[in-house]
Amino acid sequence: MKRTSLAIFTALVCASAPFVGQALAQPAEASPPSGQLDRFVGDGTCTGNVMAMDKHPGHATTGKFHGEKTLDGHWVGIRYDEDTTTANPKPFSVVQYIGYDKAKKRFIAVTFDNSGAPYSMGTSQGWQGNAITFDERAEGVEGLVFRDTFTNGDSGMSSHTGTMKDKHGKWVKTDEETCRKA
């Protein structure tokens, strides 16, 4: 029985190999429409505030961001690192990858940070004027739902606002930064 299963599996793999090779040989199109990921590319600085929540006091923030296209231009990776200050002894760092799902016609984001949450995934229907909002869920943290909204000015990314649902389902602001390209 094991030999028969192995023989069938081998035949299926061999039969599908030309199709897989043909699919891999196709040139990849740029993922997002009209190069919309370009809006996230560049370097800059941000200043803002983290709002007080639960037992955590609010505080001012400063930080740097770097955004670059990656994976043949299909994704943009954005890294943001806050500066260590007396008021912010454990600065926030995040890496967010943004791409475009052509099949579902929406932007997607996968985010990793140093907060202790494993990661989050989110989607956006796209730019509304100069803003794009991602509705996200933290994986492995029940009920943690939040939004990241980015705005874009003449010189690129100009602000970020984070909000999350509180225990009553109301959206509350968690942080807000104004950014300037370097």
Q: Is 59 exposed, middle or buried (0-12, 13-18, 19+ CB in 10 A)?
A: middle
Task: Tell me whether strands 106-113 and 93-101 are parallel, antiparallel or unpaired.
Answer: antiparallel
**Residue 122 β-bridge partners:** 109, 136
- In this prediction, residue 24 carries a pLDDT of 43
Task: Please check the confidence at residue 32 and state whether its pLDDT lies above 60.
Answer: no
Give pLDDT tens digits for 127-164.
999 999 999 998 877 778 899 999 988 767 789 999 99
CA distance 33 to 36: 6
> pLDDT per residue over 52-86, tens digit each?
887 788 999 999 999 999 988 889 999 999 999 99
Per-residue pLDDT of 117-126, as tens digits, reads: 779 999 999 9
Residues counted in the chain: 182
- 129 strand-pairing partners: none
> How do beta strands 156-165 and 145-153 pair?
antiparallel
Mean pLDDT rounded to a whole number for the chain: 82
